[in-house]
Homo-oligomer: A and B are copies of this chain.
Amino acid sequence: MGLTIKEIAKLAGVSKSTVSRVINNSEHVSDEARKKVKEVVEKTGYVPSSIAKDLKNNQTDTIGVILPRINTSTFSEAVEGMSKVLYQNGYNLLLANTRLNKEDELEYLRLLKRKRVSGILFFATEITTQHQEVLEKLNIPVIILGQDVSNLLELPSVIQDDFQAAKDIVNYLIAHGHKRIAYIGVTEDDVAVGQLRKNGYQRALAENNLEVKADYFYQGGFDFSTDSGYQGMSRIIADSERLPTAVFAVTDRLAIGAMKCLREQGYRVPDDISVVGIGDTEMSSLITPELTTIRYDQFKTGELASGLLLDLIAGQDVTVKSVMDYSIIERESVKKI
Cβ–Cβ contact A114 & B47, under 8 A: yes
CB <8 Å contact, B76 and A116: no
Quick check: which of A28-36, A93-101, A151-159, A305-313 contacts chain B, the rest being far away? Answer: A93-101
Nearest chain B CB to A93 CB, angstrom units: 5
In the complex with contacts A97-B83, A283-B283, A50-B2 CB distance below 8 A = no
Q: Which chain B positions have C-beta within 8 A of A287?
A: 283, 286-288
Which residues of B have CB within 8 Å of A282?
A: 283
State how many angstroms separate the Cβ of A71 from the closest Cβ of chain B.
4
Give the chain B neighbours of A283 by CB distance below 8 A: 282-283, 286-287
Kindly specify which of A7-15, A52-60, A206-214 makes contact with the partner chain. A52-60
Interface status of A235 (Cβ within 8 A of chain B): no
* Chain B residues, CB < 8 A from A99: 80, 83-84
> Which A90-142 residues sit within 8 Å CB-CB of chain B?
92-97, 99, 110-111, 113-116, 137, 139
Per-residue interface assignment for chain A, residues 1 to 22, with 1 indicating a CB less than 8 Å from any chain B CB and 0 otherwise: 1100000000000000000000
A71 near B60 with CB under 8 A, answer no
Instruction: Indicate the member of A51, A80, A287 with the most B CB atoms within 10 Å.
Output: A51
Integer count of this chain's copies in the complex: 2
The reply on A49 being an interface residue by CB < 8 A is yes
Neighbouring B residues of A286 by C-beta, 8 Å:
226, 256, 260, 283, 287
Q: Contact: B45 with A51, CB < 8 Å?
A: no
State the interface size on chain A (CB cutoff 8 A).
51
Cross-chain contact of A2 among B69, B87, B97, B139 (Cβ < 8 A): B139
* With contact pairs A47-B110, A70-B70, A283-B286 given, residues A92 and B94 touching in the complex (Cβ less than 8 Å): yes
Q: Is A177 an interface residue (CB 8 A)?
A: no
Contact with B along A258-302 (1 / 0, CB 8 A): 001001000000000000000000110011100000000001000
In the complex, which residues of chain B have a beta carbon less than 8 angstroms from the beta carbon of A52?
55
For A71, what are the chain B residues with a Cβ–Cβ distance below 8 Å?
73, 76-77, 79-80, 299
Could you list some 13 contacts between A and B, CB below 8 A?
Answer: A51-B115, A69-B80, A70-B70, A71-B76, A83-B97, A84-B99, A87-B97, A92-B94, A94-B94, A94-B95, A260-B286, A263-B288, A286-B287
Residues of A bordering B, CB below 8 Å:
1-2, 45, 47-52, 54-55, 58, 60, 62, 69-73, 76-77, 79-80, 83-84, 87, 92-97, 99, 110-111, 113-116, 137, 139, 226, 256, 260, 263, 282-283, 286-288, 299
